[in-house]
Structure 1
């Protein structure tokens, strides 16, 4: 496995990023954009051409496929590899022009279609580990799509390698490619029973060697303010503007619970949208923490801030609706320690320093873990995601392919 010299991951990645798969948070359809299925169709076609007979795209835009077991052992658990096909709504994914910067030497990388977009060592810490490697970027006007088409390409290459290297013994391998991860709906319609897997691994992480077994727990909050509207010419002592109340509430939130003042294992309350009129205003928040009890306390802080502000507006009122989004997958993974253990071993066998991390975010694996498929997150090599400076290295993608293959072998060995 360490001597593979016929990787297909780079060629696949360069193809996939040119297909626009941006998801849409405002859409009420599933998937949120039909164009995500365009990549799904390409993946199914390539899998069928490889000989993966059951590869198919379902009505919701999921790609399912199976690599049959090639071992005599009957008790090898079924494992699943998962990546998402959509790209972030935060930055255009249309007309992506990938560029390979061969043999990176540490110098600034200026993106040709917008020369103000410059990748510098000072801004991208992991570039210092890429000297001599081949860096792939977009051209400066779009994101690249390494999040998560790097993971998609790595899983696809791993399928190709498994089929063409029968000496790699493995149990049944299930493949899942999802839409709409970037808008928080990636596993809304996954058929867990159809997958039939014991464990899963999302391939959607950052630096080579990293594995994430812990994510934020996440809630959404919608604060609706009901003010008092009157004619502004006759408003003295009567008007209570919901817009101004909303502004006061946002301003009163503690800095210590804002994303821009927190790091590591600290949680936050983050206003992500505000709209309204004098009579009614709505603020949408996301609330995050690694600890579920702290998550609930953050919601209480938000409620207390609203209560305090509203004491100055006796004619107005508010309502607060909290919606659960996902939970820290560590709670489920700790019940199946071998899933993470085998992942760390696979990374080491790929020749990397394995590092177990927490992620200040969520993955499809966060929700899959609570749907009955414990699912940590393995590096894909993607960096500066959701931006025009997004990048990935060819060598990191190849190491991710190696890691997937070693994982398949380890599950077979330990059965």
Structure 2
């Protein structure tokens, strides 16, 4: 277990935050720091065909040790961290034999990780937790996944008595900004199917995710002295408020769950002359997803008619629900389920309220269900991961490789 801790800590202390405003791949130069380290480590543990391309996509092979042909499978994780919260100077804390009480992340700022608020903590009494120091995110999303994949490959290299087919490994940049699979070479990867190690709590096994789009609303106003503004001023901030008021207020992340979709405004700025806000649009149901986009168009048309064409709406689809690509090959989910059950993990099969590289890869011809990586409270200062969950994820990867080797 110490091997997992040491490896994970070496990854999370490297800042790899991505940047949606950047046009490059990877979106930040600092992602190369971890990417280059991972290439060295893959070679060091004995992986073959280790490559990194000009966009920092990493691939490697564990050759088959069988005397027969079986499917080639892959395991994929991303090495960037979310731009939603600082990933600079990550200073992890290790909590051994967690007692089920509050964890003081930062005494000076009175930042507490409490089971009174985060009830999942109580599942991990007696285990070793890795937390933040309350000033940054941790980066278990998805450096826990990378840790697990490399540790599992190292174990298989060191235990040739465990039979397996050809295994491919892939690590990607920019997943957190929705571009992790954009330049992934599925043909070069050469797997029949793969698994992303990018879920949360132990046992998660997911093959459904949101249909997703982004939207940017820009409003052009006219500034006039407020004392003489009647019939002349066009207040961009006021029109922003009108637009938002016409959206369904209950369909937001903080009021939805399971397969319920939402609109999420995550950035807003403006003055009388100019205002803009950005949102994401999410729904598991494809028809409802399309209806959400229709609604935004209707609001735009309504307010443009009222305010003389001052609003510009830009919408862009990001990814789709991978369920339609996974169901025809559902046995790949059954293999992962069987792997978990064989090591006494109860599978938690549920839809992802988000997306992974796997959702895009599935539509690119690489069916890709998602498996737990163990972390909780991603993208913020309350993020943590139980080390035992990472250990179990390693065991699941190894067991999947074994099961595919005997698949008829």
Question: Normalised by the size of structure 1, how large is the TM-score?
Answer: 0.93
Residue ranges of structure 2 left out of the alignment (5+ in a row): none
CA distance 1:114–1:371, change in 2 (3 Å)? farther
- Other-structure match for 1:413: 406
- Other-structure match for 2:177: 183
The answer (yes or no) to whether the contact 1:143–1:388 under 8 Å persists in 2 is: yes
Q: Distance in 2 between matches of 1:113 and 1:20?
A: 24
- Other-structure match for 1:169: 163
Matched, 1:255 2:281: no
- Other-structure match for 1:378: 371
- Other-structure match for 1:323: 316
**Greater Cα offset, 88-97 or 390-399:** 88-97
Matched, 1:12 2:45: no
Q: Distance in 1 between matches of 2:31 and 2:346?
A: 35
Q: Distance in 1 between matches of 2:21 and 2:301?
A: 30
Report the CA distance between 1:163 and its aligned residue: 0.3
Matched, 1:33 2:28: yes
Q: Calculate the aligned-residue CA RMSD, in Å.
A: 1.8
Q: Distance in 2 between matches of 1:225 and 1:336?
A: 46
Q: Distance in 1 between matches of 2:151 and 2:2?
A: 7
2:49 counterpart SS class: coil
Written as runs of structure 1 = structure 2, the 5 A alignment for 1:206-355 is: 206-228=200-222, 230=224, 232=226, 234-313=228-307, 315-355=308-348
- Matched residue pairs, number? 408
Q: 2:16 aligns with which of 15, 21, 28?
A: 21
1:274 counterpart SS class: strand
- Other-structure match for 1:88: 82
**Greater Cα offset, 371-380 or 342-351:** 342-351
The answer (yes or no) to whether the contact 2:223–2:273 under 8 Å persists in 1 is: yes
2:170 counterpart SS class: strand
CA distance 1:48–1:114, change in 2 (3 Å)? farther
2:26 counterpart SS class: coil
Matched, 1:142 2:136: yes
Report the CA distance between 1:155 and its aligned residue: 0.3
Q: Distance in 2 between matches of 1:309 and 1:262?
A: 27
Q: 2:72 aligns with which of 73, 78, 88?
A: 78
Report the CA distance between 1:236 and its aligned residue: 1.6
Matched, 1:60 2:55: yes
- Other-structure match for 2:112: 118
Q: Distance in 1 between matches of 2:105 and 2:250?
A: 36
- Other-structure match for 1:3: none
- Other-structure match for 2:350: 357
The answer (yes or no) to whether the contact 2:46–2:154 under 8 Å persists in 1 is: no
Question: Normalised by the size of structure 2, how large is the TM-score?
Answer: 0.95
Q: Distance in 2 between matches of 1:113 and 1:48?
A: 41
The answer (yes or no) to whether the contact 1:99–1:137 under 8 Å persists in 2 is: yes
The answer (yes or no) to whether the contact 1:181–1:364 under 8 Å persists in 2 is: yes
Q: Distance in 1 between matches of 2:310 and 2:131?
A: 50
Q: Distance in 1 between matches of 2:221 and 2:334?
A: 55
The answer (yes or no) to whether the contact 1:113–1:141 under 8 Å persists in 2 is: no
State the Cα deviation string for residues 147-205 of structure 1 (Å, max 9, x = none): 11111100010010110111211111000011111111111111111001111100011
Report the CA distance between 1:115 and its aligned residue: 5.0
Q: Distance in 2 between matches of 1:349 and 1:165?
A: 19
Q: Distance in 1 between matches of 2:101 and 2:204?
A: 25
The answer (yes or no) to whether the contact 1:9–1:156 under 8 Å persists in 2 is: no
Q: Distance in 1 between matches of 2:407 and 2:313?
A: 50
Residue ranges of structure 1 left out of the alignment (5+ in a row): 1-5
- Other-structure match for 1:197: 191
State the Cα deviation string for residues 8-47 of structure 1 (Å, max 9, x = none): 3222101111111111122121101111111111111111
CA distance 1:140–1:231, change in 2 (3 Å)? closer
Q: Distance in 2 between matches of 1:283 and 1:142?
A: 25
The answer (yes or no) to whether the contact 1:269–1:287 under 8 Å persists in 2 is: yes
